[in-house]
Structure 1
Amino acid sequence: MRMPTWIRQHLAALRALLVFTLLLGVIYPLAVFAAGRVPGLDDRADGSFIEVKGRRVGSELIGQSFTGKDGAPLRRYFQSRPSSAGDGYDPTSTSASNLGPENIVDGDEPSLLTQVCARSKAVGELEGVDGSRPYCTKGGAGAVLAVFGARTKDGVVPHPTRVVSLNERQGTVKAPFVTTYKGTRVEPARKGEDYAAGLVVPIRGDAPARPAVPADAVTASGSGLDPDISPEYARLQVARVARARGLAPAVVERLVKDATMGRGLGFMGERRVNVLRLNAALDER
């Protein structure tokens, strides 16, 4: 006796359910678990945790901040790169800022340019170096003007009628970062005023082309969880950490060298320093 079509369809669906449950619900998870037990991979599978004096302090795969309760950097520790994941290094909110290089004018939130300028200024003050960067004001904001007036065919304004420093608000600065532009007085921006009709002009300033503060010290990673910094940023912090711990700079430099990892497979990416591993090595001393 031939079974009805609807019964055959349900039996076929049941067989498919059982087969895929076995493959994807049992065999595949067991295969992944077994691969994670392979020597050399088991540490990563378990989270690559780091312990200092028997206490687990974090994972070398996920970055973390080294700040006090007030959010200020702890001077005895090497600092990680900035993070845009939640309130900083939040694994449940991994993300980037999604701001691009054209984001140079502040809105309700600081622009990417102003964020970079502010971070560079803060790092410079912390490490005792020149934190200036091209297109940044000395106060740590993006050096960007809105220039008003008749434009030529090339889109320039040869004779401005009004010039506004877009990222410096009235009342927050004593004076704009430049006093005049093409003979016209520069004024700070006023809250709530619309400057969209002006020509946006970034001003490079006299900062060195190669800033003392490296790029990874002022930009967040794509995931917001990057555990590494560049050897250049690590070396910049050596003097401060050595002073805070009462160590000779050569001792700290040696630890930085020991914590520096090469490129993946010898050619992928850049050389890097794992911040947690380096700080753990310092604490173990």
Structure 2
Amino acid sequence: MSYPSWVRQHLAALRALLVLTAVCGVAYPLAVFAVAQAPGLQSRAGGSTVSLRGRTVGSALIGQSFTGRGGTPLRQYFQSRPSEAGSGYDPTSTAASNLGPEDIVDTLPGPETAAAGESARLSLLTRVCSRSKAVGALEGVSGARPFCTTGGVGAVLAVFGRRAADGTVPHPTRVVSLNEEQGVVKAPFIAAYRGVPVEPARPGANYADGLVVAVRGGAPADPAVPADAVTASGSGLDPHISPAYAALQTGRVARARGVTPGQVKRLVQASTDGRDLGFMGEPRVNVLRLNIALDRKYPVRG
């Protein structure tokens, strides 16, 4: 029996729909599910969940915070690296700050915008500086970093005056510390720059005409606080920290749990993964697994 061309076209489309539905909507998902149940893959397919005392406490693939009320770090736990995913380690809002190394100037809101509830936008440099200061205070080491003030903000100046051919300002007429707010700091991080007194920034003021100068300061090139302690990962969900950051925290955790640093160090080594395939990436420590191992072997006596 011969059908009109438009009927044949619709029948062909219907057959294609049924075949693709069976293959892509039924066969393929079932095949993927079957492969995921293979030994060695089942845990990963199930989210790599980690349990403690019969209760799921997280995933080995997604980081989390170990803080108390108000975001205060719990001293008995190793701390994860910072996260820019939502309010921190939010798997539904995985993201990075998207700020680059040239983002060094904070935006201080003026009186009108502050009254409207707008807060300051912190530059990447100030975020790194403030985190380094906080980690240093927690671990009992210097949080000093190049281009950071002792107050934990970026050491950045706006230098005004006639510019030379090379773009510099050899004879400044005015100098402003861009990331130190007037009325918040008692005095700028340096008193003078090339003989000109340094003044703090006024919120809402426009300093775009000034030459932006970052001041390195006297901090060591290799700070005591590792880089992963002050920078977030690209996903914001990284469950690992570097062995250097773990080593920095070992003494604090040992004191909080009443054990020796050597006992904690052995657990750190057991929770350290090597390079993938022996040559890709860097060694790393899974924070959740390490903290669970601590709770199991050296629980905090309450």
TM-score tier after normalising by the smaller chain length: over 0.9
**1:1-285 alignment to 2 at 5 Å?**
2-107=2-107, 108-285=120-297
Deviation at 1:5, TM superposition (A): 2.0
- Which whole-Å CA distance do the structure 2 matches of 1:223 and 1:74 have between them? 24
- Which whole-Å CA distance do the structure 2 matches of 1:260 and 1:209 have between them? 26
- Which whole-Å CA distance do the structure 1 matches of 2:121 and 2:148 have between them? 17
- The RMSD of aligned alpha carbons is 0.8
User: Which 4+ runs in 1 deviate beyond 6 A?
Assistant: none
Deviation at 1:161, TM superposition (A): 0.6
Deviation at 1:2, TM superposition (A): 3.3
Q: The residue matched to 1:70 in structure 2 has which SS? A: helix
Q: Structure 1: any 5+ residue segments left out of the alignment?
A: none
TM score, norm. by length of structure 2: 0.93
- Which whole-Å CA distance do the structure 2 matches of 1:66 and 1:181 have between them? 42
Q: The residue matched to 1:147 in structure 2 has which SS? A: strand
Sequence identity, in percent? 71
Deviation at 1:86, TM superposition (A): 0.4
Q: The residue matched to 1:56 in structure 2 has which SS? A: strand
- Which whole-Å CA distance do the structure 1 matches of 2:15 and 2:137 have between them? 67
Name the aligned partner's letter for residue 42 of structure 1: Q
Q: Structure 2: any 5+ residue segments left out of the alignment?
A: 108-119, 298-302
- Which whole-Å CA distance do the structure 1 matches of 2:10 and 2:166 have between them? 71
Per-residue deviation, residues 124-162 of structure 1 (Å, max 9, x unmatched): 000000100000000000000000011111100000010
Name the aligned partner's letter for residue 34 of structure 2: A
Name the aligned partner's letter for residue 235 of structure 2: S
Q: The residue matched to 2:175 in structure 1 has which SS? A: strand
- Which whole-Å CA distance do the structure 1 matches of 2:176 and 2:21 have between them? 65
Q: The residue matched to 1:273 in structure 2 has which SS? A: strand
TM score, norm. by length of structure 1: 0.99
Name the aligned partner's letter for residue 39 of structure 2: P
